[in-house]
Structure formats: structure tokens, C-alpha cells
Amino acid sequence: MIQDSEFFRMEGVPITKEEIRAVSIGKLNLDPEDIVLDIGCGSGGMSVEISKRSKFVYSIDNSEDAKNTALNNLKKFNVENCTVSLGNAEDLISKFDFNKVFIGGTQNIEQILEILKEKNIEIIVVNTIVLENSVKIINKFEELGYDVNFVNVSVSYGKKINSGHIMLSKNPITIITATLK
């Protein structure tokens, strides 16, 4: 995994943290021939990591700042098997052919999951930070007939202080994996 500090960052544009990227990549079960859609690509951290393990990545974000940040990171890491599109996922999904999906953040998640089900996407991995969104997504996947697994990942970083060392925690992330039955 590329360290978070190596990525180009822009204020207000999120990035999936290194440890969360590692687990999410594992849940995608990538193959060198996979073509992956990254919805809500933010800074492009997942797009860069996925591109190193798959044939091609289509990245989408509805923020111009996110698109530019992701493009900067693709260039920085010499990624040539990825494109970044600006717009809403529900409007753009039909333009691409892919077999796996990573969702790092998006609006209209239920509509997007319905569109992905129509395309018979076999593996979808979704990262969430808001518990209510996790429940909504899990319920929607089950309604659509997917097998659903989820894990909540908490990461803490060590820091030296005068009297010893402490652990500083980051927000826990729920990683939901849906597999088509």
C-alpha cells in the first residue's frame, strides 16, 4: 500500500486511509483482468491502488476538486489504466463496462445499488462512516438478493508523549461486501 503521506491532497477532498484501502482491496478480491468502477473516488487513493492490481479503473466523483485531485494522483503514480469522470454515478454508470465496484462515498446509494444489480455486478465493496448508512446499504443489498458481509475497522496510530506512548484513533469505517448469489 502507498502511504497516505505520499498522495497529493487538496483541502476538503477525502482519501481512503491506507489501512482501510488494504482491507477494501482484499474484499474486492481483484484479478488482473478485472475492470473496476470506483464511485466517489475522492483523492483517488483507491483508484491508484486498484489500478495496480486490475486491468482498468473507471473513477467517478461529482466534485471538480476531487476529480482534479484524483487526476494529480494518477499522474504522480504513473497510472495509465484509469479515467476520471465528473458527474453523478447514477447518470454515468451506464457508460462503462466493468465487473466489480468500489463505493467510497456517494449520494443516492439505493438507486445506484439497483442500477448495479441490473448490470449483474458480482462483487461490490462499500465503505461507510455513518452507521445509519451502513444499515441502509446492508438492507438494500439483502433486498436485491446479494450475500452480504461487513466488518467494522478501527485504526489507531501511536504517538510519543512525555510520559510514554498513546494511541490516537481514527473514525471506524464499516466495509460492506456484497456478492451476487
CA dihedral 146, 33, 63, 46 (to 10 degrees): 80
145 assigned binding-site residue: no
* pLDDT cut 70: percent of the chain above it: 100
82 assigned binding-site residue: no
Query: Is 13 a domain residue?
Result: no
Could you tell me the residue range of the domain that residue 62 belongs to?
Answer: 18-180
Q: How many domains does the chain have?
A: 1
By three-state DSSP, how is residue 12 classified?
A: coil
- Position 105 scores a pLDDT of 85
What is the biggest distance separating any 2 CA atoms in the chain, rounded to whole angstroms? 57
26 assigned binding-site residue: no
- Position 35 scores a pLDDT of 98
pLDDT tens by residue, 105-127:
888 999 999 999 999 999 999 99
Q: Provide the CATH number for the domain around residue 85.
A: 3.40.50.150
87 assigned binding-site residue: no
Query: Is 4 a domain residue?
Result: no
Judge contact between 50 and 20, C-beta under 8 A: no
- Position 63 scores a pLDDT of 96
170, pLDDT greater than 90: no
Query: Is 66 a domain residue?
Result: yes
34 assigned binding-site residue: no
Q: Give the confidence band of 181 by pLDDT, cuts at 50, 70, 90.
A: confident
43 assigned binding-site residue: yes
Query: Is 175 a domain residue?
Result: yes
The residues, any chain, with a CB within 8 Å of residue 122's CB and separated by 6 or more, are: 99, 100, 179, 180
Mean pLDDT of the chain: 96
- Position 153 scores a pLDDT of 97
